Structure 1
Amino acid sequence: MKKLFKVILYFLLIVLGIILIATLVFNAYYATLNKRAKKELQEVPRLIVGELQFRDLNKNGKLDPYEDRRQPVDVRVEDVLSRMTLDEKVGLMWQPPIGVGDQGELQSKPGILSSVSTYDAIIHKKLNHFNLFTVPATKALANWSNNLQQLAEQTRLGIPVSISTDPRHGISNFIGMGLLGGNWSRWPEPIGLAAIGDSSLVVEFGQIARQEYRAVGIHTALHPMADLATDPRWARINGTFGEDAKLSARLTAAYIHGFQGDKLDTNSVACMTKHWPGGGPQEKGEDAHFHYGKNQVYPGNNFAYHLIPFEAALKANTAMIMPYYGIAVDQTSENVGMSFNKEIITKLLREEYGYDGVVCSDWGIIEGFSFLGYELVEAKNWGVEKLTVDERIAKVIDAGVDQLGGNMHTRQLLRLVRKGVVSEDRINQSARRLLRVKFELGLFDNPFVDPEQAVEIVNQKKFQKKGKLAQRKSIVLLKNQLNGGGGKVLPLTKGIKIYTENINPELASNYATVVNQPEEADFAILRLNTPFEERTDDFIERMFHQGDLNFPEAELSRLLNIMRKKPTIICMYLDRPAVIPEISKQSSGLLADFGAEDDAVLDVIFGDFKPHAKLPFELPSSMEAVEAQKEDMPYDSKDPLYPFGFGLTYGE
């Protein structure tokens, strides 16, 4: 036994030794790499012309056209482009994630959400577009932005960095508050804005979010989602404006106007509208992040319907477009993912619609992420799985894409250009589009932010108040009737006894007396989420709410048991539709929310705010009805429980 113990001990010591050595080598390698990279940096002099001051970004002692904000954008673009090396042009065409230090320091080595050192990425790989996931407090984030821009301006041409993000202002956000949180004003999800249906409110939201983003140095919104929620099983419905093309088109245009204004300028945030040409008609509702959801299908021959919101986005001058992962099955001559499809990008978007803005692929279409031979994140290279990495890169650029999200295969693209597979003229086309946005946003002139001002702007009380009001406005009243033919139930009278689930009891006590058992209460108030299938193949898949819309039998029985004991008010968070005929029948009051804090829900239940929102999608009556409908058709399930546009108010 002692011998076995010694063997185990020695083995553990060897493993620890290997880990220690690997850590030391890892740290030493990046310390050396960063030191070498920093030697290439130069301080940026200021040039004085009359009463004006300019940054001498290329450090040559004179004011060149690209440094002169008085020059037209096109002149500035051509000037800097003529000075760029092929390496620098290629660096523009990739947008990987980047890490942020807790105190605003630059990430000096790879981390969980960023696979490069910041110094290596900007100085050696010539990258200057990145997207953010987890972020620190507002002031630290603003300081980090300034540190990053200071590093960028000290490179050879001083090309500023552009920072992007997925939506951060929702109560839940698509992939969770852990990755997309922060100290922002809190609003309903986009599907909640659709429930309100007020274009002016959507513009106002965009203007507020824009101010908060720019205050901390975020320049690109990887949103809005102009996709249509025509299959209720799809996991991404909460990021859309629902299933009606006209409603989505109107709100998509308003959203872009709020973020960008009439045209891009120094106050704007550039919108990357997604997912061209519409990611909603997923086969069986499965999402295209995964191989089993790679197909988008059109059994109703309704491809053109899904283009309507994108047409509105193009008229609103969206700065950027993102294609989705999926294959639009049999809609073109080649069944490949959208970004690989030349007919989808060049023929349809570029030629037929005349779009000359930036097209950026969705994340990770070239290569996935593996560790020790285990694929942690699969590549979303649907239809081109058998192609090599080089062949995928060449194909996506030939299709008309300007930038590739999530990957950074600069070396491979350089090799393709030098071999003549991709022409430098083609690289120049994309570089022009990408540089134009940087100039229009004013980043070449002043990419820096004021950290103290950022603290004052982000999540200021006025913004908080408007977000909270929007939460209340987005709540839909679906039922208000006591079982057995009784009268109206809502609004409840304050001071009654209530039993609650998934509501902060301390907050609820401001409205009523909270009791511990349903039997002790006058009413039960339950907050529920739309059910989904637990899928655990990888950590990305666990973030997606997919599959069956029914409540599991055990949970449904438990809920119905409570409702039989006491009159019950249900408020359900609908990140996608739910199948709830039994719950609807047994409840006394039924509300739908699309991202609302407890006080917003309680204000509606107790009459401090009267509901008037409408359902942005139908609620199907059964999974059989869901499975029988066509993925590309709106509101087409048989005998829906609640139709699109349904919503009561008090007094009805």
Structure 2
Amino acid sequence: MKIAKPLFLLISLAVTNVITAQNQERIPEVEKLLGKMTIEEKIGQLNLLTPGGGVATGSVVSKNVESKIKAGNVGGLFGVASPSKMKMAQDLAVKQTRLQIPLLFGSDIIHGYKTTFPIPLGLSASWDMDLIKRTAQIAAKEATADGINWNFSPMVDIARDPRWGRIAEGAGEDAYLGSEIAKAMVTGYQGEDLTDEETMLACVKHFALYGAVEAGRDYNSVDMSRVKMFNQYLPPYKAAIDAGAASVMTSFNDVDGVPATGNKWLLTDLLRDRWNFDGFVVSDYTSLNEMMAHGLGDLQAVSALALKAGLDMDMVGEGFLSTLKKSLDEGKVTEEEITNACRHVLEAKYKLGLFEDPYKYIDESRPEKDILTPENRAVARKAAQRSFVLLKNENNVLPLKKSSNIALIGPLADSRNNMLGTWAPTGEIKNAVTILEGFKNVAPNARIEYAKGSNILNDKELAKNINVFGPRIEISKELPDELLNEALAVAKKSEVIVAVVGEATEMSGEAASRTDISIPDTQKKLIKELVATGKPVVLVLMSGRPLTIPEEFDLPVSILQVWHPGVEAGNAVADVVFGDYNPSGKLTATWPRSIGQIPIYHSMKNTGRPAPDSEEFQKFKSNYLDEKNSPLLPFGYGLSYTTFEYSDLKISKEKIKVNEAVEVSVTLKNTGKFDGEEVVQLYLHDVVRSITPPNRQLKGFKKVFLKKGESKTITITLKPEDLKFYNSSLEFVAEPGTFEVFVGGDSNASLKKSFVLE
């Protein structure tokens, strides 16, 4: 559907892909429109509202939205979906306002729209950039079919504290892998042309450092050096910006003592001046208003602070709407600052083609043909299969025969409410496939008997805190011992026990930090009792974070980590358990032995008193009295039903010059009985440099398929920038010296060679 172009657009609209960095030419159509706008109309474009009715991420819901749109006081909406609802809102903006400026429509589409994919932490475990990009493309196609043109994703926060619930929403602990995933998701959402109706604006979040909140407690403070920021936390944000991300969302935390939403160094000096970002910046949900609680003044003061810092759009709080005119009159902000923020918002709308056709995303025929199609569900199933990580395969119990007599037990085995995962507000639980259903679909000839066995947890008060978005934890009327006895009776009649255990979906995610990240006690008891039957036990483990499972790992059990797998959960789990797909996932966050080790990650540095490699306790060394230094499971870890052998590591040159690449090759052989995939990982150690180096840094990887018995030579190229780091002056440099290269199947890779940068 098209309408007549507004008066200000009767000039040529031929320039559709204008790049508008700060020091480049502006879009003429936008500049002409800005010249016609009153100050009130400019401020109105800086206001993002939600009318409610969807899943909110805060307690505030906007009021009188319709009247505010008519008054020209709204730049965009979120929390609204369906072409009919979008049309009603867009009609108000383009038919009942003076300048007919169209609205943006945003949404949190974190891991799929209606076709829900595995949680991002799980998806990252696939190490498959093409697949990750494909999931973003499908999410964009489905969301735009419902009228949404702006996605509050990807979340690229580096997270090294699994107590933080939002570790589920990102790519884990590593800056290199996180950067590759950030690029894949941005290009998946935005495509090559934002005027394509199946693409949408990406919004990189949360800028910045949100994954490093103190004590793993959500919304908490962050304090770190600039060197640590630039080397370990900022790279994925920059990678997303370099990939063309159209918008950025600020984080809730402070940076250098100033909340990110009002931090000029972050939003202007770094983002725009250093990184040349040319899109627009939006606050997180009421994060502008929350600067008052941080202690930076009243609403007028923090609104002025945020505008001057470089914030362009205020999400829900309406601080800009209610105070900027007064601040302008009092000389606390300038008209130029308001105009510049408005310009950034209007340029995004222009890039989407909304001025040419405000209704381009509103097509009643699209939802039925584009959303939750069989083809999309097939990709969701594939993505889930490839996200699973085989942590342990006791006596090679897995894969199971499809004719087996199976006791399927556990509180998550038939729990449709817990398949989609945290932060899936656009998904529908009714569409999810349970594990029980998946087993019956994939192995119809198996004898499968189900018993719940236990509740996810028995604490009613804790369950109430978790069940904010619906009944994720349902505490049965039966007593715990009754549930357990029923499960044991079923188990004793089986050949093998499959226990589906772990976290409910909302035990991780936003506002879901935990001080105890072990499996809940009632499930621990169930697992021990099942093992005591003497039957082979397979744990299908669901969670949104790394868990502390040293007790379970030491039991004679197999463990398949499946995260929260999405809409095709049950089918995908069954595919892997019964061997239709050989698991290939690798961990993207280190699993600690105990919570006292946190933070623990693969790229830690040596101290001046490093503990011995043997981990034998020595006084006055950097170790614990009561625990090993090493994790339970390292970054990059993941088993297969087959085995792989690495050999013949070679480096193309012993010495290289600055700005010269070097090739690293290794022979990989499938030495087992199954075809399978392996993620070949390359880690680098800069032996001597001007600031202390990490022991190992991921600098390359390839996912390789080999038939049983097959060998291949795998080559990974180290580019000049892979040798660089930010020094104490924040210069991105490579320093001469020796570099050690490690190649293998996880961050403990043992094959080692070195070369010299002259």
Question: How far apart are 1:69 and its partner, in Å?
Answer: 2.6
Structure 1 residue 149: deviation in Å? 1.4
The one of 306, 326, 339 aligned to 2:261? 339
Contact 1:260–1:269 (CA under 8 A) maintained in structure 2: yes
Write the letter of the residue equivalent to 2:351. E
Aligned to 2:664: none
Letter in 2 for 1:159: I
Shift of 1:587: 4.6
CA contact (8 A) 1:216 1:454 kept: yes
What's the TM-score once normalised by structure 1's chain length? Answer: 0.77
For residue 578 of structure 2, the aligned residue among 590, 606, 626 is 606
**Kindly, what percent of the aligned residue pairs are identical?**
28
Residues 494-643 of structure 1 correspond to what in structure 2 (within 5 A)? 494-499=402-407, 500-501=409-410, 502-504=412-414, 505-510=436-441, 511=443, 512-515=446-449, 516=451, 517-530=490-503, 544-565=512-533, 566-596=535-565, 597-626=569-598, 629=600, 638-643=629-634
8 A Cα contact 1:336 1:382, kept in partner: no
- How much has 1:574 moved relative to structure 2? 2.9
Contact 1:233 1:547 in 2 (8 A): yes
The runs of 4+ residues in structure 1 deviating greater than 6 Å are 531-535, 634-637
Partners of 2:94 and 2:351 in 1: CA distance: 17
* In 1, Cα distance between equivalents of 2:280 and 2:333: 18
Instruction: Indicate how the Cα distance of structure 1 residues 533 and 472 shifts in structure 2: closer, same or farther if over 3 A, else same.
Output: closer
Aligned position for 2:327: 416
Cα separation, partners in 2 of 1:586 and 1:366, compared to 1, 3 Å: same
For residues 74-97 of structure 1, what are the alpha-carbon distances to aligned partners after superposition, in whole Å with 9 as ceiling and x for unaligned?
Answer: 011011111111111101112121
Q: 1:66 to 1:99 in 2, by over 3 A?
A: farther
1:353 is matched with which residue? 275
The match for 1:259 is 189
CA contact 1:66–1:76 (8 Å) conserved in 2: no
Contact 2:296 2:302 in 1 (8 A): no
1:451 maps to 2:364: yes
Question: Structure 2 vs 1, CA of residues 430 and 302 (structure 1 numbering), >3 Å: closer, same or farther?
Answer: closer
Q: Which moved more, 1:249-258 or 1:591-600?
A: 591-600
State the shift of 1:100 in Å: 5.8
Pick one of 479, 489, 513 that aligns with 2:392: 479
Once residues 603 and 291 of structure 2 are traced to their aligned partners in structure 1, the CA distance between those partners, rounded to angstroms, is 22
Moved more, 212-221 or 583-592: 583-592
Gaps of 5+ in 2: 19-26, 415-435, 452-489, 608-627, 644-758
Spell out the pairing of 1:250-289 with structure 2 (5 A cutoff): 250-267=180-197, 268-288=199-219
SS in structure 2 of the partner of residue 212 of structure 1: helix
What is the distance in 1 between the residues matched to 2:103 and 2:149? 9
Counterpart code for 2:447: T
Q: Answer yes or no: is the 8 Å Cα contact 2:167–2:545 preserved in 1.
A: yes
Give the whole-Å Cα distance in 2 for the aligned partners of 1:119 and 1:249: 40
Please tell me the residue identity of whatever aligns with 2:231. Answer: A
Task: State the match for 2:723 in structure 1.
Answer: none
Q: Give the counterpart letter for 2:280 in structure 1.
A: V
Q: Report what 1:98 is aligned to.
A: 51
Assess if the C-alpha contact under 8 Å between 1:95 and 1:130 holds in 2. Answer: yes
Give the Cα–Cα distance (whole angstroms) in 2 for the partners of residues 563 and 263 of structure 1.
55
Residues 234 and 403 of structure 1: is their aligned pair in 2 closer, same or farther, counting only changes over 3 Å?
same
Structure 1 segment 85-484 matched on structure 2, within 5 A:
85-99=38-52, 114-124=61-71, 126-132=73-79, 135=81, 141-154=82-95, 155-167=97-109, 169-170=111-112, 184-267=114-197, 268-288=199-219, 293-297=220-224, 301=228, 303-328=230-255, 332=256, 335-367=257-289, 379=290, 381=292, 383=294, 385-409=295-319, 410-448=321-359, 449-481=362-394
Per-residue deviation at 1:194? 1.0
The Cα of 1:130 is off from its aligned counterpart by 1.4
- Report the Cα offset of residue 630 of structure 1: 8.3
Deviations 1:286-338 (A, max 9, x none): 111xxxx233446994553111111211210111111211123xxx4xx1211
Match of 1:70 among 14, 17, 21: 14
Amino acid at match of 1:551: I
Residues in 1 aligned to 2:271 and 2:338: alpha-carbon distance in whole angstroms: 19
Alignment of 1:36-47 (within 5 A): none
Alpha-carbon distance in structure 1 between the residues aligned to 2:494 and 2:100: 66
Distance 2:203 2:190 in 1: 11
Q: Corresponding residue for 1:372?
A: none
Contact kept? 1:531, 1:550, Cα under 8 Å? no
C-alpha deviation, 1:112, in angstroms: 8.4
Q: How much has 1:631 moved relative to structure 2? A: 12
Match in the other structure for 1:9? none
- Return the alpha-carbon distance in structure 2 between the equivalents of residues 119 and 192 of structure 1: 40
What residue number does 1:55 align with?
4
Contact 1:294 1:382 in 2 (8 A): no
Check whether the contact 2:202–2:246 (CA below 8 A) recurs between aligned residues. Answer: yes
CA deviation profile, 1:121-173 (whole Å, cap 9, x unmatched): 2012520211116x5xxxxx111112221221112111111011112545xxx
Q: Is the 8 A contact 2:110 2:120 kept in 1?
A: no
Q: 1:209 to 1:476 in 2, by over 3 A?
A: same
Q: State the superposition RMSD in angstroms.
A: 3.0
Q: Residues 189 and 386 of structure 1: is their aligned pair in 2 closer, same or farther, counting only changes over 3 Å?
A: same
Corresponding position: 1:491 with 2:399: yes
Task: Say which is worse superposed, 543-552 or 235-244, in terms of deviation.
Answer: 543-552
- Separation in 2 of the partners of 1:91 and 1:508? 53
Paired with 2:218 and 2:496, the residues of 1 have a C-alpha distance of 39
The match for 2:636 is: 645
SS in 2 for 1:196: coil
The structure where strand makes up a greater share of residues is: 2
Determine helix, strand or coil for the equivalent of 1:526.
Answer: strand
Q: CA deviation at 1:101?
A: 9.8
Instruction: Report the residue type matching 1:69 in the other structure.
Output: L
Range 258-267 or range 487-496, more displaced: 258-267
Label 1:381 to 1:572 Cα distance change in 2 as closer, same or farther (>3 A).
Answer: farther
Tell me what 1:31 maps to.
none
- For 2:318 and 2:632, how far apart are their aligned partners in 1? 47
Distance change >3 Å, CA 280–CA 632, structure 1 → 2? farther
Which one-letter code corresponds to 1:364 in the other structure? T
CA contact (8 A) 1:257 1:316 kept: yes
| Alignment partners' CA distance in 1, 2:270 and 2:4 | 41
Aligned residues: 538
State the match for 1:105 in structure 2.
none
How far apart, in 2, do the equivalents of 1:631 and 1:389 lie? 42
Shift of 1:254: 1.1
Secondary structure, aligned partner of 1:607? coil
Unaligned runs of 5+ in 1: 1-45, 47-52, 59-63, 103-110, 136-140, 171-181, 368-378, 482-486
Cα 1:632–1:447 change in 2 (3 A) is farther
Distance 1:403 1:635 in 2: 43
Look up the SS of the partner of 2:545 in the other structure. Answer: coil
Q: Report the secondary structure of 2:286's partner residue.
A: coil
